[in-house]
């Protein structure tokens, strides 16, 4: 990896704090807190119940072993076969290889995770063992280029982003983001009158030249807002496009953000779902043989293959990285964390204290116990197995598309997929004589996509200009018409229009197309196959490639 | 209980919604949601991981039995003796009588709580069994006077209040509250430039005549804000004063709120810690014999003895009630719920979706399992036992004060304790000849308090005007001086000044006194005793009632 500048201390970026954030009071007890830390003090200040009144003596969990999932694609993986088990009426859980862990109310060893502490009112910063795990994890995996970074837990990236954007932005300001982005991120900021400022994308995500042009030519008068000083970005497994930013591009974007004093909020839920390049079934080569056991050497080697975080380049402390256990443990964890400079962390912590307070202690206890039981190397092994599972899912889903449609790979020279090999899909079904007579078009492309290199989604562009009743301006109508037809036939995709950062952006090049975002993360393999078959029938009918 | 008006539908109160709340987008998918609910649909829209990837096969907990705590004060209660066990090196948990419950990943019976659902991205409204439990609980215990109320879960009352106040108030507005109140509630609203408007209190909490006067005489010009349309109130075990509002007072306050169109946000964490009146040790009569087993009859009878919620009077749907499991299960639950009209609930739910999302699934699963295992009557039995525990703690703590000080009960005729019997504390220690010579005052009152009838706290007024070096204006200095002396001697109380709703309120009658809030909820009994002994020595020294 390229060498980067390192610094001991983050620079002072407190001028980025919003009025709202600055107005959040510091606890009036701050000056008195030294007394609270006195060992053996008789504390009758807070409204803390006695742990004797917590009605849980201990919590136990049967936890999957870290090597639950194979490291190379295999047909016998738990998840890909689970639909089969379901058919035969048995429960998946019975096939899971587990080990029992217990969190007692009172710790047997001092400092060990326990319910008396984790179910008590707690510091928003994270409890001892979890804080230790996260610090080790961050320094091994993300290796921030500044030393005084802080890890602060939150209730997941939705909470993380809301807290970050209201900590940094005043009403009337704008946030730089990819032209297609996560709708919930936009929904969080709009009520505060903070608006998205879309930047063009190519196959590697946000374009650095467009970003530079946008910032250098920013005119506050015509734009009716000051030059943005905050960026929201999903650099790995971009949602919805599935692209992943290269090392060089990340460095370029970071340097531009230094030049124009922009804070980067890196929302990275799919970081450990880096799936590699898709190849057709027959072109796949077997992967290298791996031990399959957690090991420090393999952890180190694996981590070095991952795209670096923005933190890796962050010698100034201008990155707020958002991590979550939603995709690696479970969404219901509602547990994630910020990695950022201590000044921002302090404001984010104050905000947490007046909203969700600390994340749920049941969740913190169970997850901390899982992580410390697995150890760092075990967790990395778990993440590697999970990656392979999603790789298999992606491969299976695109294999299904390749069976259902004629896929033709062409290099994209412009647009959001510039630099990528784009798969154009046309009908495999022979048209009837009547159809051929009616329409002259042959092998018309109905949709195209780039197999995602990370994440959970295929981002599909519909070639609506190829539709018999296309007239410029009716793309939305056609997209919704097709979406509704699919839903009526039993298949739900996410409609593409909800991912447009700015529906009214004038520089959009998407004026001849609708989009679908299709998730391969959850459905049983048989259902994925079934969905593609239905999709094939409905889209051919829609494009009138097939008789009704 | 007095008869109240009942209505089927809440009235339209949507004019109370803040600009921020109105600006929160409804999901763009709203119109399409009917398809999402189609049974058997192949859903490839959301970014949901497969439950096969949740690394937990099941969670088990050893749960205390509902009858863990006695219904009549007893010296053998688990908690009051736990310090003894600690002395002898055993863990409290070993004495707890528990039953095992398990939440499996996949449900054995359809609709039963399971991890596949509760650890998935979930509706912010609450999962089936929990929603059912809450609805039954609300209709049995709070009996709202309007029928179309909604129960919506949140991550506890801190989150609940932040969401309520930002749903209802615009910057520059004010919120009616008790003159002494929970500091965190004020800290939540101040950054949004929403200010507290203190209303005078007496021994029953907020005064209805003062509220009426304040609202009827409101002058937006001199007050520099519109007439408040939102009230924040802690009617049971008021924090910090410990008072509980009577039925008649609640009805008066509700009627005034109807008259002036005020929304009542009822923050009620101490509802189940209604402790009854304190009596000196020798004056206590043994309570009636009770079965000690969960039973429908006893639940009904017990619930009827509790102060009614504002919901009981709420025929219009103008109450947002905040409930929490923090005090009844554990603070680390981070689980609570709103009960309110459906229009407010919809806006509060949207806000949840862009912050913490649903509360933690681990917590929801475990707590739902505990509640359904206990059943409604078991939970009521648990709450009754808990009440008795806190009653014993309050009694023990005040007994300690009675041993350490000379307590003299006098009726209060004005001020925050109007209508109550106030205990005035003076020194029991005989002064030395030198001291008697130096100061003529005898039996001077050093502090006073009203034994709380609910909650966790003794709210202590310091008679600083009795201090030898008192001069009007130096109360804050004296309060902090005594607080610091106590802390240096190993005892932490909460300083009173942090509970002032409005430090700059001109109508404050507290100009000759400081305050402490003392919690009896958490410390071992031996530590409570020890703390009172140290407090006695330090305060006598401070008032120069004792030689140094």
Answer for the pair B446, B425: CB distance below 8 angstroms, yes or no: yes
User: pLDDT band for position A443 (50/70/90)?
Assistant: confident
* Cβ distance of A64 and B47 shorter than 8 Å: no
- Segment A310-315 shows an average pLDDT of 98
Where would I find the beta strands (DSSP E) of B65-124? Answer: 98-104
pLDDT, tens digit, for every residue of A257-298? 999 999 999 999 999 999 999 999 999 887 666 678 899 999
- Segment B220-247 shows an average pLDDT of 96
- Selected for mutation to probe chain A from B18, B20, B57 (highest A CB count within 10 Å) is B57
| Chain B residues lying within 8 Å of A38, measured CB to CB | 487, 490
- Segment A134-141 shows an average pLDDT of 98
Nearest residue of chain B to residue A36 (CA atoms): B492
Between B126 and B261, whose confidence is greater? B261
User: pLDDT band for position A83 (50/70/90)?
Assistant: very low
Answer for the pair B355, B171: CB distance below 8 angstroms, yes or no: no
* Cβ distance of A64 and B42 shorter than 8 Å: no
Answer for the pair A16, A168: CB distance below 8 angstroms, yes or no: yes
| Chain A residues lying within 8 Å of B162, measured CB to CB | 354-355
Q: Which of A283-287, A455-459, B228-232, B421-425 has the lowest mean pLDDT?
A: A283-287
Phi and psi at residue B95, to the nearest 5°: -95, -5
* CATH code matching the domain that covers A391-542, chosen among 3.40.640.10, 3.30.420.40, 3.30.1330.10, 3.90.1150.10: 3.90.1150.10
* Cβ distance of A332 and B120 shorter than 8 Å: yes
Instruction: Output the pLDDT for position B74.
Output: 66
Question: Thinking of the domain B393-542, which architecture would CATH place it in?
Answer: Alpha-Beta Complex (3.90)
* Cβ distance of A190 and B42 shorter than 8 Å: no
Residue whose token pair is 């008869």: B3
The full set of domain ranges for chain B reads: 393-542
- Segment B65-93 shows an average pLDDT of 59
Nearest to B199 by CA among B168, B175, B164: B175
Instruction: Output the pLDDT for position A39.
Output: 80
User: pLDDT band for position A474 (50/70/90)?
Assistant: confident
* CA atoms of A455 and A457, how far apart (whole Å): 6
* CA atoms of A316 and A8, how far apart (whole Å): 9
- Segment A427-436 shows an average pLDDT of 67
What is the 8-class DSSP label of residue B152?
E
* Cβ distance of A360 and B24 shorter than 8 Å: no
Residue-averaged pLDDT of chain A: 89
- Selected for mutation to probe chain B from A158, A356, A452, A488 (highest B CB count within 10 Å) is A356
Residue-averaged pLDDT of chain B: 89
- Among A23, A79, A361, whose Cβ lies nearest the Cβ of B330? A361
pLDDT at A548 over 50: no
Between A55 and A475, whose confidence is greater? A55
- Among A27, A63, A92, whose Cβ lies nearest the Cβ of B55? A63
- Segment B21-50 shows an average pLDDT of 82
pLDDT, tens digit, for every residue of A480-518? 999 999 999 999 999 998 898 875 444 445 556 799 999
pLDDT, tens digit, for every residue of B454-495? 999 999 999 999 998 888 878 778 999 999 999 999 999 999
Crossing angle of helices A475-488 and A525-542, in 10° steps, is 130
- Among B55, B184, B527, whose Cβ lies nearest the Cβ of A382? B55
Cα dihedral A334, A340, A345, A349, rounded to 10, equals 0
Instruction: Output the pLDDT for position A442.
Output: 57
Nearest to A513 by CA among A444, A467, A451, A457: A467
* CA atoms of A370 and A103, how far apart (whole Å): 10
Where would I find the beta strands (DSSP E) of A65-186? Answer: 98-104, 150-154, 174-178
* Cβ distance of B25 and A187 shorter than 8 Å: yes
Instruction: Output the pLDDT for position A511.
Output: 57
pLDDT, tens digit, for every residue of A420-431? 999 999 998 766
Instruction: Output the pLDDT for position A34.
Output: 75
**How many C-beta neighbours within 10 Å does residue A181 have?**
27
- Selected for mutation to probe chain B from A39, A41, A48, A49 (highest B CB count within 10 Å) is A49
- Among B38, B50, B522, whose Cβ lies nearest the Cβ of A522? B50
The CA-atom distances, in angstroms, between B256 and each of A109, A152, A463, B208, B249 are 56, 44, 63, 8, 11
* CA atoms of B61 and B333, how far apart (whole Å): 14
List, in sequence order, every residue forming a beta bridge with B201; answer none if it has no partner.
Answer: B206
* Cβ distance of A55 and B354 shorter than 8 Å: no
Neighbouring C-alpha atoms within 13 Å toward the C-beta of B156: 26
Instruction: Output the pLDDT for position A256.
Output: 98
Nearest to A142 by CA among A314, A2, A345, A262: A314
- Segment B238-243 shows an average pLDDT of 92
Residue whose token pair is 């001086």: B481
* CA atoms of B127 and B131, how far apart (whole Å): 6
- Among B51, B106, B382, whose Cβ lies nearest the Cβ of A55? B382
Residue whose token pair is 């679908």: A516
| Chain B residues lying within 8 Å of A124, measured CB to CB | none
- Segment A435-449 shows an average pLDDT of 70
Question: Strands B263-267 and B230-233, how do they pair?
Answer: parallel
Complex ipTM over 0.85: yes
Instruction: Output the pLDDT for position A432.
Output: 62
- CA A329 from chain center: how many Å? 13
- With a CB cutoff of 8 Å and minimum separation 6, the contacts of B245 are B204, B205, B206, B235, B236, B238, B253, B307
- CA B478 from chain center: how many Å? 29
List, in sequence order, every residue forming a beta bridge with A519; answer none if it has no partner.
Answer: A457
pLDDT at B434 over 80: no
pLDDT, tens digit, for every residue of B307-337? 999 999 999 999 999 999 999 999 999 999 9
Instruction: Output the pLDDT for position A507.
Output: 47
- Segment A403-413 shows an average pLDDT of 93
Instruction: Output the pLDDT for position A89.
Output: 41
* Cβ distance of B159 and A360 shorter than 8 Å: no
Nearest residue of chain B to residue A382 (CA atoms): B55
**How many C-beta neighbours within 10 Å does residue B221 have?**
6
Question: Strands B98-104 and A514-519, how do they pair?
Answer: unpaired
The share of chain A scoring above pLDDT 90, in percent, equals 73
Instruction: Output the pLDDT for position B505.
Output: 42
Instruction: Output the pLDDT for position A504.
Output: 42
* Cβ distance of B521 and A20 shorter than 8 Å: no
- Segment A137-163 shows an average pLDDT of 97
Instruction: Output the pLDDT for position A430.
Output: 65
* Cβ distance of A331 and B363 shorter than 8 Å: no
| Chain B residues lying within 8 Å of A359, measured CB to CB | 334, 360
Instruction: Output the pLDDT for position A433.
Output: 58
* CA atoms of A483 and A460, how far apart (whole Å): 12
User: pLDDT band for position B94 (50/70/90)?
Assistant: low
């Amino acid at each position: 990896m390229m060498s980067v500048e390192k610094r001991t201390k983050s620079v002072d970026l407190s001028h980025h704090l919003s009025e709202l954030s600055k107005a959040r009071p510091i606890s009036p007890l701050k000056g008195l807190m030294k007394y609270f830390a006195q060992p053996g003090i008789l504390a009758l200040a807070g409204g803390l119940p006695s742990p004797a009144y917590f009605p849980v003596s201990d919590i136990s969990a049967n936890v999957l072993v870290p090597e639950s999932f194979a490291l190379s694609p295999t047909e016998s993986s738990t998840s890909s076969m689970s639909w089969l088990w379901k058919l035969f009426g048995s429960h998946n859980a019975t096939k899971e290889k587990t080990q029992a862990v217990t969190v007692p109310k009172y710790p047997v060893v001092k400092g060990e995770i326990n319910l008396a502490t984790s179910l008590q009112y707690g510091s928003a910063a994270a409890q001892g063992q979890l804080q230790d795990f996260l610090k080790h994890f961050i320094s091994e995996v993300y290796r921030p280029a500044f030393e005084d970074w802080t890890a602060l837990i939150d209730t997941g990236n939705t909470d993380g982003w809301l807290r970050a954007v209201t900590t940094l932005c005043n009403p009337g300001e704008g946030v730089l983001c990819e032209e297609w982005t996560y709708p919930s991120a936009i929904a969080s900021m709009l009520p505060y009158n903070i608006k998205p400022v879309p930047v063009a994308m190519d196959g590697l995500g946000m374009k650095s030249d467009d970003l530079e042009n946008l910032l250098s030519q920013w005119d506050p008068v015509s734009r009716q807002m000051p030059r943005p000083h905050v960026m929201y970005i999903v650099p790995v497994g971009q949602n919805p496009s599935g692209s992943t930013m290269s090392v060089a591009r990340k460095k370029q974007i970071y340097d531009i953000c230094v030049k124009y004093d922009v804070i980067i909020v890196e929302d990275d839920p799919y970081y450990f779902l880096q799936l590699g390049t898709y190849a057709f079934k027959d072109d796949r080569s077997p992967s290298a043989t791996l031990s399959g056991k957690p090991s420090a050497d393999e952890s180190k080697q694996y981590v070095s293959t991952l795209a670096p975080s923005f933190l890796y380049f962050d010698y100034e402390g201008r990155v707020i990285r958002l991590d979550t256990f939603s995709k690696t443990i479970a969404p219901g964890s509602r547990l994630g964390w910020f990695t950022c400079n201590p000044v921002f962390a302090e404001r984010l912590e104050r905000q947490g204290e007046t909203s969700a307070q600390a994340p749920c202690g049941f969740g913190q206890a169970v997850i901390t116990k899982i992580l410390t039981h697995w150890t760092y190397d075990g967790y990395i092994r778990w993440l590697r197995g999970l990656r392979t599972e999603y790789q298999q899912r992606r491969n299976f889903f695109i294999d299904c598309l390749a069976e259902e449609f004629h896929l033709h790979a062409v290099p994209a020279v412009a647009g959001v997929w510039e630099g990528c090999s784009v798969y154009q899909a046309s009908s495999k079904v022979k048209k009837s004589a009547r159809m051929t007579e009616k329409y002259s078009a042959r092998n018309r492309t109905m949709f195209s996509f780039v197999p995602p290199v990370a994440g959970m989604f295929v981002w599909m562009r519909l070639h609506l200009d190829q539709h018999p009743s296309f007239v410029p301006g009716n793309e939305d109508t056609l997209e919704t018409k097709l979406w509704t037809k699919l839903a009526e036939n039993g298949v739900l995709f996410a409609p593409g229009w909800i991912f447009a950062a700015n529906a009214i952006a004038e520089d959009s090049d998407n004026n001849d197309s609708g989009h679908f975002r299709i998730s391969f993360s959850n459905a049983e393999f048989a259902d994925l196959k079934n969905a593609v078959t239905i999709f094939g029938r409905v889209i051919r009918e829609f494009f009138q490639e097939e008789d009704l």
